[in-house]
Amino acid sequence: MMQSIDLANPRPVVAVICDRISYFQHPVHAVPETYLRALHEAANVMPVLLPVSPEMLDLPTLLSTVDGVMLPGSPSNVAAERYQAEPLPEQTLKDIYRDETVFSLLPQVIEQGIPLLAICRGFQELNVFFGGTLDRAVHERPNALDHREGCHDRPLTCWYEDSHFVEIMPCGLLSTLTRAPYISVNSLHHQGVSTLGQGLRIEALAPDGLIEAFTASDSPGLVLGLQWHPEMSLGHSPLAQQIFSHYGDACRQRQQFRSSLNFSGDNKNESIRPVAV
């Protein structure tokens, strides 16, 4: 049955950055469906895919039409040259197209106050953007947990089972979304934060001290980075539900402000400054 169209109450539009992969020898721009379903079902927004071809990226068009941006996870890694480190080994999966696109759009997305949710690779991209560095093998640190997903022969759902706790820092955003001081999360990464970027506030720590979440407290809009995958935990994690709900609310606030600018005819390239929460 065709769904009725409610033109009076459109959903906020969230641009989701793609990976550039090969599909039957064709270059393809793709995003795992789990992120899109989480945005649709838990954040109540409409996701659209943002290609990672910088020549296709028209920032004025993007900034004037979207109400949020998501940087999802990926098997690929941020190029180490982005944080002035030795290049990653040749066999390491990288995505220079995503790197170039993300780092070209982040300055304006953050300055304009467009709500930004970054997960796993996106979390690492944000840290690098703010001047931080990455550890390419966090499991090799002294007394470290093994944060990798484990054997790939297991069913995919097993990869995303909760594997360790994180401590929620007091007085941060996440502490307003849950009263629990510790939350169980999944873990599927071999890289992680080495030095935290400037202006980022720690929101959660793993038992081995690894930074698992942060916000950019001085940014005009919501900027939230998570090392774990809340999109895979919506069925059992109240915090995962709250994260996407809160993000959706921030996108709706941005949508309302953008609509007010369009209605007034004042659609200049001004900074959009909704309440940063």
Give the number of other CB atoms < 10 A from CB of residue 89. 8
- Is-catalytic flag, 231? yes
- How remote is the C-alpha of 110 from its chain's centroid? 13
Catalytic residue among 120, 125, 203, 246: 120
Q: Which of 162, 72, 186, 188 is closest to 119 using CA atoms?
A: 72
Q: Cα angle at 255 between 251 and 256, to 5 degrees? A: 120
Catalytic residue among 147, 229, 246, 251: 229
Q: Which of 190, 170, 191 is closest to 180 using CA atoms?
A: 170
Catalytic residue among 125, 149, 203, 231: 231
- Is-catalytic flag, 120? yes
Q: Which of 191, 196, 169, 164 is closest to 180 using CA atoms?
A: 169
> Catalytic site residues?
120, 229, 231
